[in-house]
Structure formats: C-alpha cells, structure tokens
Amino acid sequence: MKKFAIFVHASENEGAKALHSLLYAQELKEAGHEVKVIFDGAGTVWAKLFEDPNNKFHPIYQSVKKLGVIEGVCEFCAGAFGVSEDTKKAGFNQLGEVGGHPSITKLVADDYQIITL
C-alpha cells in the first residue's frame, strides 16, 4: 500500500483537472492505497462548487467524500479566494500548519507521494 496526497489547484475554469483529482482519489483508495485530497490555491473554490447539488460533478464528489479521503482546504487560500465561510459551513478541515497553508513537508515525511492537479 502506498500513500498519495492529491492537491487540487485547478482554477474554476479547469473542471477537467478538478474532476480528475476526484477520479484518481477514488481509484487509488478503492485499490487499497491511503489517499488525502487537499484543496489549495485556486482549487479551494472547487471545495465550494463540488458541494453544490446542482454541480454536474456533485455525484462523483459525494462518492469520494464517503470514502473519507477529503483532508480539507488551505486555510489561507480559502480566505484569499472568498470561500472560507462556505468551506467551514460544509465541514471542511481548515489546514494551516505553515503560515496558514497545509504542510507539504509533513506529508513527505509521512511518505506521501504528491500529485498536483
């Protein structure tokens, strides 16, 4: 079993990248790997968009969410992109170990391979 941390940096107009972050997470988890999905940078907007039941990617998002692999959102970037309150209301963990951002060093130290989309 391997460990993967998938960072979603896709901007709002990069739906294919955001969708593939979910598809990859699902495939890896179902194959028995440990997976964490982290919404970071412009990708924090997708944390809000995926929660919307009218979003065409909502069903796959719900499936992935049930797998327990959604680690959270970058605390600083969620604020910078105006989705902080929305992500808090949706129950996302606010990750900010390093100046308000998630710690990539901690993940690497824990043997996670980093995938960025």
Amino acid present at 73: V
Low-confidence ranges of the chain (pLDDT < 50): none
Q: For residue 35, which phi and psi values (nearest 5 degrees)?
A: -135, 140
Q: What is the CA radius of gyration of the chain?
A: 13
pLDDT number for residue 24: 98
Between CA 91 and CA 114 the distance in angstroms is 24
Delimit the domains of the chain by residue range. Answer: 3-116
pLDDT number for residue 48: 96
pLDDT number for residue 93: 97
pLDDT number for residue 106: 97
Please give the CATH number for the structural domain made up of 3-116. Answer: 3.40.1260.10
pTM of the model: 0.96
